[in-house]
Copies of this chain bind each other. A is one copy, B any other.
Amino acid sequence: SPSYPEDQDPTRLLLQLCVDRYYVSPGEANKGRFQRGVSCSYGPLGAELHRNLLRQWWLSVTRSKARVFGLNTQSIGGDRATRPGQLRVVDCDGLTQLLNRRDLSTEQLVQEMKSVLQMSSPVRTNLLQGALEQFVPSSELVNRKLPFGLAEAGLCFQPANGSGCRPAEVTQTSLVWFCSPRTSSQWLDHWTRQRLKWWRKFALFLSDFSTSEVLGEDLEEATTRGVRITYDFPWGKETLETLWSRGESELLQIYGGERSKLQCRDGSKTVPHVVSMTGNMDRGVLAFLSNSFQQLKSDDGKQKLQHRKVLKLHPVLTPVKVSLNISRGATLELRQVCEGLLQEFLEADITVWPGYLETLQTSMEQLNRKYDEMGVLFTVFISETTLESGLVQVRSRDTIIKETMHISQIRNFISRYISAADNI
């Protein structure tokens, strides 16, 4: 990787910007977790981006085929209580009481502790297991006809990785696809194309997102083929999503080898094969931030060459679509115009930033710089002119062109802009 002067290193600049502009909550730990690709404490903008990304994933998997059903399984305990699991939730008060008992021999203490640990609830590390357990009741939904899929998004836990990291949580997405054995390889190819297309839909630079086959020794147990979708971060490639062709063995194991329970009506009576897709949406958030982060040279005439930092997030993912501002002379009437417009945007499901509530004096340049760093798609300026003629100024993040339009048109203009970007 190229070396940069410290104040130009894109990774460092991006992470700093994420903290400054409300994507990630302040604190070095949060920045560290973010870069590690696990969940951190998101600020308001990061939380919204995260929500938008999960919603897009959900729409894409449930709309693509008629037969994808959603699930919502448990993250601790449940039917998994008796299974092995490294990470478990324990009641510390109970364990401490046990440790304080003076009447037990070391042997007894060790036995008691082990049995408490064994009885405690394991936390899930993936969503696959939950989906496999739901195969039989779900297959009744579709009269045991293949193919169909089970989709879920939720928190999973990651053990500490040895290098001093604590256990962490990750927002995973999972689509588990059940199909006939002879079609499983075609389905893996189909879903690889679909998933890559989805990731690239929101990208500014498509080539940063790519796929690679998982080679021989990296194949996981029970899998026969695997494909990784990776993003090329400034520090190297990281996996966003993994697709596996898993065969039938895990299903058979869960149902105690009873083939008859699993047989589907697919011409011949077959036990379905499983194709799994597991995505890391925390890393997804970081990938899109990284992909959309641009430093552009801006020549404002007066000062010397400056770098303009912009988050050019896809309009659909952008957390704040529009900011409302008053340019000079913050009278009561102007604020009332803003309040009305704000309500109009909220009702149309357009997220809006109430810049007009700012009472500190800020220059137009400072304001634009801030909104560009936040990735705000459009900045609306309302002025005395608006009261007279109904005209407002609208600045676009991506073109930096300022347009004048009538206040009654803005909402439709922005709605259309976003849905046009959605339908490409």
Contacts and interface: CB of A to CB of B under 8 A. Distances in A.
Interface string A19-56: 00010011101100000000111111011101100000
Interface stretch (A69-77, A187-195, A376-384): A69-77
A86 interface: yes
A81 B62 CA distance: 38
Contacts of A43: 71, 134, 137-138
Given A92-B86, A92-B87, A359-B143, A40 B74 contact: yes
A29 B89 contact: no
A165 to B, nearest CB: 10
Contact of A71 (B27, B42, B59): B42
Interface in A327-381: 339, 342, 346-347, 349, 352, 354, 357-360
Interface string A95-120: 11001100001100110011001001
Contacts of A91: 86-87, 159-160, 167
Nearest to A117: B92
Contact of A74 (B141, B159, B169): B169
Interface residues of A, number: 86
Contacts of A86: 91-93
A402 interface: no
Contacts of A74: 39-41, 169
A53 B120 CA distance: 31
A113 to B, nearest CB: 6
A130 interface: yes
Contacts of A130: 41
Contact of A81 (B76, B120, B166): B166
Contact of A47 (B44, B70, B88, B166): B70
Contacts of A46: 72
A123 interface: yes
A162 to B, nearest CB: 11
A85 interface: yes
A90 interface: yes
Nearest to A159: B91
Contact of A121 (B41, B106, B166): B166
A89 B48 CA distance: 28
B169 A79 contact: no
Indicate the member of A41, A354, A359 with the most B CB atoms within 10 Å: A41
A69 B99 CA distance: 44
B159 A27 contact: no
Contacts of A105: 106
A70 B89 contact: no
A92 B96 contact: no
Given A42-B71, A96-B117, A99-B113, A357 B145 contact: yes
A155 interface: yes
A22 B346 contact: no
Given A41-B130, A67-B354, 20 more contacts: A26-B137, A27-B79, A29-B79, A39-B72, A40-B74, A42-B71, A43-B71, A47-B152, A51-B70, A63-B347, A66-B357, A76-B157, A77-B168, A87-B91, A88-B90, A90-B90, A95-B113, A95-B117, A96-B114, A109-B109
